[in-house]
């Protein structure tokens, strides 16, 4: 695993920094604090530098979100992802990079440079986690949008390195050869030397010709431009080349040169790797066995840690998703309940309005009927009855008029007067108890006695005029029927209020009848039903008549 990490540093340390955010971009110009933390993040001198940089960029992220500054938000998310990766927080780094990609996808006028860097970053994460297929997928996405030869060389170099770790040496050689040819076309000595060294290393793995010549050519170029990291990498390649050729003397010479350069650079990981190479050359089977076992255990440990980290990440992501789903379900439940309450309210309101409108319509219709009855009554009285009365007066003055004709006219006059009285308007300004009592007592004469019970105990003030009118007309109908048809000697009306309901019982001792709801009885029933009351009739021949009204 040690070799894997160091190879990553050799091949990708410079490559990855090439995709770092341009600190001289317009959004960052003249911002000393940003330059300071950028240097802490990308060129740390101590572990604390990364933590300080991370804290700073997390604060910047919140400010960008509040200001809706998408461009700087993307730049700062990329820096956070870089820091997290350098601190070993692989999955947190992945999450941050994906967040930055989402911000790019949701924005307009963002060029491909940030996307290219994020694809490369994600490729690096998955290569470290040894998920090579996913790593290649991201590197190839980056390759497809690379617009400069420099960026293309970097991405292709990363792809070749994945092939190398997969031991697909032919594919790696093909990529390195392409990079080498492209590097010859640009004036970048560092890239040219790197492409030569990487190509020579793979050729050595495949036992190609001219391998050593190409390695030394790369080393000479690196010495010429004083590329310390590149020089170390070349020494390490030459050590491996001679070790594999079993030329231990030359292998030891290059291992010592690598150690000397590692000391000069001051990199602990480089020094550890160089010392490991020297130990490897000691002709002691136990030491060699120990080193191999140590490397094997280290590699297994790293894989286990990666898997554990992946498991932990997936666990927390699943937990987070479960919580989000639970919150979403709760929101949906509350929304559903709200809609149900609103729906129920609308339904109840609709029903309420329906009955209100129906009641108003019914009330209006009944009032119209009563107005019509009153108008007809007045017309009968003013026009028909008066005309008959005048005719009777003229006939009485005529000595030739027969008494029978006068009697007939008097009968007609009495009927029209009764019709007018039955449908005349009720004056509710007077006390309804008195009006009702006067109505009932008006049917009392020498032959028929009318008795009322508890009429004075009813509070009529809380009864609507509509109900009063209906009750008045129905009692008038019952009393008229009694007077005309029953031949009763006594009629009793009892008034009771029970549980908010007024109950009127009518009884007489007349000749009775067979109940047929037509004419007056039907009118009485219709009137009571129109005010949501009930009326029942009971009678037998020669056994009187009964009626019960409930309103």
Write the pLDDT tens digit of every residue in 66-77. Answer: 998 888 999 999
The predicted pLDDT at position 294 comes to: 63
- The sign of the dihedral angle between the CA atoms of 216, 222, 224, 226 is negative
How do 490-498 and 501-508 pair as beta strands?
A: antiparallel
User: What is the mean predicted confidence (pLDDT) over 167-190?
Assistant: 89
| Domain 1-166 CATH assignment equals 1.25.40.10 | yes
Q: Which long-range contacts link 46-50 to residues 24+ away (Cβ below 8 Å)?
A: 50/83, 50/86, 50/87
Say how far apart CA 367 and CA 312 lie, in whole Å. Answer: 80
Q: Does residue 224 have a pLDDT over 50?
A: yes
pLDDT at 387 over 70: no
In this predicted structure, the answer to whether residue 452 has a pLDDT above a threshold of 90 is yes
| Per-residue confidence (pLDDT) for residue 390, from 0 to 100 | 64
Under DSSP, is residue 244 helix (H, G, I), strand (E, B) or coil?
helix
Q: How big is the CA angle at 525 (ends 523 and 529), to the nearest 5 degrees?
A: 120
Q: What is the pLDDT of residue 167?
A: 92
Token digits for 290? 């120990």
Residue intervals in the chain for CATH 1.25.40.10: 1-166
Neighbouring residues of 324: CB distance < 8 A, sequence distance ≥ 6:
none
**CA 45: distance to chain centroid?**
47
Which structure tokens are listed for 40? Answer: 């802490």
Model pLDDT, residue 80: 93
Displacement of CA 330 from its chain's centroid (Å) = 10
DSSP secondary structure string for all residues of 203-241:
HHHTT-TTHHHHHHHHHHHHHHHT-HHHHHHHHHHHHHH
In angstroms, rounded to a whole number, what is the distance separating the alpha carbons of residues 299 and 286? 20
pTM for this model (two decimals): 0.48
Q: Is the pLDDT of residue 450 over 90?
A: yes
Helices (H) and strands (E) in the chain, counts: 20, 5
The pLDDT value given to residue 5: 41
- Laid out side by side, the sheet with 545-550 consists of 449-453, 490-498, 501-508, 545-550, 534-539
pLDDT score recorded for residue 441 = 92
Q: Write down the architecture of domain 429-550 according to CATH.
A: 2-Layer Sandwich (3.30)
Distance CA 536, CA 1 (A): 103
Token representation of residue 91: 């999955």
Contact between residue 310 and residue 91 where contact means Cβ atoms under 8 Å apart:
yes
Q: How far apart are CA 468 and CA 429, in angstroms?
A: 12
In angstroms, the CA 178 to CA 169 distance is 14
Higher pLDDT, 409 or 345: 345
**Every domain range in the chain assigned CATH 3.30.565.10:** 429-550
């Amino acid at each position: 695993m040690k070799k894997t990490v160091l190879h990553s540093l050799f091949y990708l340390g410079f490559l990855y920094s090439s995709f770092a955010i341009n600190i001289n971009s317009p959004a960052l110009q003249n911002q000393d604090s940003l330059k300071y933390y950028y240097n802490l993040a990308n060129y740390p001198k101590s572990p604390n530098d990364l933590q300080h940089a991370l804290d700073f960029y997390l604060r910047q992220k919140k400010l960008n979100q509040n200001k809706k500054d998408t461009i700087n938000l993307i730049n700062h998310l990329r820096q956070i992802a870089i820091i997290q990766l350098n601190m070993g927080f692989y999955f947190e780094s992945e999450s941050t990079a994906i967040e930055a990609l989402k911000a790019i996808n949701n924005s307009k006028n963002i060029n491909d440079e940030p996307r290219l860097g994020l694809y490369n970053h994600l490729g690096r994460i998955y290569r470290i986690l040894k998920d090579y297929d996913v790593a290649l997928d991201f590197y190839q996405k980056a390759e497809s949008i690379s617009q400069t030869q420099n960026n293309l060389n970097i991405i292709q170099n990363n792809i070749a390195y994945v092939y190398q770790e997969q031991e697909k040496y032919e594919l790696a050689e093909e990529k390195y050869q392409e990079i080498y040819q492209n590097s010859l076309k640009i004036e970048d000595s560092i890239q040219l030397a790197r492409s030569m060294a990487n190509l020579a290393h793979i050729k050595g793995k495949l036992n190609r010709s001219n391998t050593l010549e190409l390695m030394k050519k790369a080393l000479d170029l690196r010495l010429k431009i004083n590329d310390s990291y590149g020089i170390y990498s070349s020494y390490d390649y030459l050590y491996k080349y001679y070790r594999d050729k079993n030329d231990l003397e030359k292998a030891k010479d290059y291992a010592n040169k690598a150690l000397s350069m590692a000391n000069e650079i001051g990199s602990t990981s480089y020094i550890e790797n160089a010392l490991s190479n020297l130990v490897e050359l000691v002709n002691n089977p136990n030491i060699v066995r120990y080193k191999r076992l140590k490397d094997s255990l280290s590699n297994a440990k790293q894989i286990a840690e990666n898997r554990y980290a992946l498991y932990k990440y997936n666990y927390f992501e699943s937990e987070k998703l479960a919580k989000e789903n639970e919150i979403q379900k709760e929101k949906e439940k509350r929304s559903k309940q709200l809609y149900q309450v609103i729906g129920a309210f609308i339904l109840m309101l609709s029903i309420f309005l329906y009955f209100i409108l129906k009641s108003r319509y019914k009330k209006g219709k009944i009032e119209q009927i009563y107005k019509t009855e009153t108008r007809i009554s007045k017309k009968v009285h003013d026009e028909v009855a008066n005309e008959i009365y005048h005719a009777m007066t003229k006939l009485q003055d005529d000595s030739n008029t027969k008494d029978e004709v006068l009697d007939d006219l008097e009968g007609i006059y009495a009927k029209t007067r009764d019709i007018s009285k039955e449908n005349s308007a009720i004056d509710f300004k007077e006390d309804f108890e008195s009006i009702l009592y006067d109505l009932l007592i008006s049917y009392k004469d020498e032959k028929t006695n009318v008795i009322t019970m508890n009429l004075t105990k009813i509070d009529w003030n809380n009864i609507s005029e509509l109900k009063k009118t209906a009750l008045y007309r129905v009692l008038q109908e019952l009393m008229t029927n009694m007077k005309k048809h029953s031949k009763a000697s006594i009629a009793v009306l009892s008034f009771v209020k029970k549980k908010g309901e007024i109950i009127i019982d009518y009884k007489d001792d007349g000749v009775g009848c067979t109940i047929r709801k037509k004419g007056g009885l039907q009118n009485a029933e219709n009137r009571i039903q129109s005010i949501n009351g009930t009326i029942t009739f009971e009678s037998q021949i020669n056994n009187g008549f009964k009626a019960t009204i409930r309103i």
